[in-house]
Amino acid sequence: MATYQLNVNGKTHSVEVDPATPILWVLRDHLNLVGTKFGCGIAQCGACTIHVDGSATRSCMIPVSSIGNSKVTTIEGLSEKGDHPVQKAWLEHDVYQCGYCQAGQIMTASALLNSNPNPSDEDIEATMSGNICRCGTYTRIKAAIKTAANNSLES
pTM: 0.95
- If pLDDT is split at 50, 70 and 90, which confidence band does 154 have? low
% pLDDT > 70, the chain: 97
Q: Which architecture characterizes domain 2-78 according to CATH?
A: Roll (3.10)
* pLDDT at residue 44, as a whole number: 95
Domain with CATH 1.10.150.120 in the chain: 85-154
Q: Say which DSSP state 10 is in.
A: T
* pLDDT at residue 122, as a whole number: 97
Apex CA 13: angle with CA 32 and CA 110, to 5°? 70
Rounded to whole angstroms, what are the CA distances from 15 to 1, 18, 62, 100?
10, 10, 16, 26
CATH 2.60.40.1180 assigned to 85-154: no
Rounded to whole angstroms, what are the CA distances from 71 to 95, 106, 133, 153?
28, 18, 27, 25
Domain with CATH 3.10.20.30 in the chain: 2-78
How far is Cα 15 from Cα 67, in angstroms, rounded to an integer? Answer: 12
The string of pLDDT tens digits covering residues 39-88 is 999 999 999 999 999 999 999 999 999 999 999 999 999 998 999 999 99
- If pLDDT is split at 50, 70 and 90, which confidence band does 153 have? low
